[in-house]
Amino acid sequence: MDKSLSAAQARFLKARSRHHHLILAGQILLFFLFVGIWEFTARVGILNDFIFSSPSRMAVCFIQMTKDFSIFTHIGITLAETVGSFFLVMALSLATAMLLWAVPSLAELLEPYLVMLNSLPKSALAPVLIVWLGNNVKTIVVAAISVAVFGSMMTLHTGFKNSDPDKAKLIYTLGGNKRNVLFKVLIPSSIPLIINNMKVNIGLCLVGVIIGEFLAADQGLGYLIIYGSQVFKMDLVMMSIVILCILSMGLYRLISMLEKRVNRQ
């Protein structure tokens, strides 16, 4: 196969891979530049490292917390809450979207209320949830669900509604019913939509979990951030934020991997 490549094609492929390598090198360089400037300015006193912390202080803080294993507990709890609420959001919104599709009158009936709940700032609900559910993990998970679930329902329902009516007609002409349309056409044709929706939801769940942990937790990264800022341990706050960055990227990547797998089939 390689031998059959024309010179122009080979040049094209080489230029492309060169481009990719350059971008990757640039991304890595950008990271070290950012960390380096931060560390340098903190050391020479341009930045006040008591307020802004610095990469080395964050590293020290992290190593200290790994010794008693506490950092892993905090990360694990935030991760578990996020993943748990993510699965609940997907299940709830898929089930609701299917129901709304199956009973269009219900969708018409509920439309203004869904729009309202979707645009309501969910952080306003958090204090109410604490009163109702208590100062515990239930509040955090429900807060996370409330952030993502309404938008997800509406996106999926709109996607279902806009699917090709002729494909549904085909199922009816073959003697099928609404259930067949749902399982043979709607769900398989909506896989790309569902995966895109998952990408949005995993991020929103993380937002919701952090809001929840700000208010109702004694463990988790959200708790570390709020606690650290109250006692002015900025190293702890900054380190938790960096870990959150890595966490959210990792979760997003996981879903991208799932997407690639599905597309390959």
Which positions lie near other proteins, rule CB under 8 A?
A: 164, 166-167, 169-176, 180, 184-185, 188-189, 191
> Would you say 184 or 233 has its CB closer to other proteins?
184
How near is the Cβ of 114 to other proteins at its closest, in Å?
Answer: 24
Integer Cα distance of 61 and 71 in angstroms? 10
How near is the Cβ of 197 to other proteins at its closest, in Å?
Answer: 18
Cα torsion 147, 96, 77, 261: sign: negative
Cβ count near 93 (within 10 Å) = 24
Longest dimension (CA), the chain: 77
> Would you say 117 or 170 has its CB closer to other proteins?
170
Helix/strand number for the chain, H first, E second: 13, 0
- Angstrom distances, CA of residue 103 to CA of 91, 98, 108, 118, 235: 18, 9, 9, 20, 53
Supply the Cα-derived Rg of the chain in whole angstroms.
24
Among candidate residues 196, 215, 200, 203, the one with its CA nearest the CA of residue 244: 203
How near is the Cβ of 193 to other proteins at its closest, in Å?
Answer: 13
> Would you say 67 or 260 has its CB closer to other proteins?
260
> Would you say 14 or 169 has its CB closer to other proteins?
169
How near is the Cβ of 260 to other proteins at its closest, in Å?
Answer: 16
How near is the Cβ of 199 to other proteins at its closest, in Å?
Answer: 20
> Would you say 68 or 166 has its CB closer to other proteins?
166
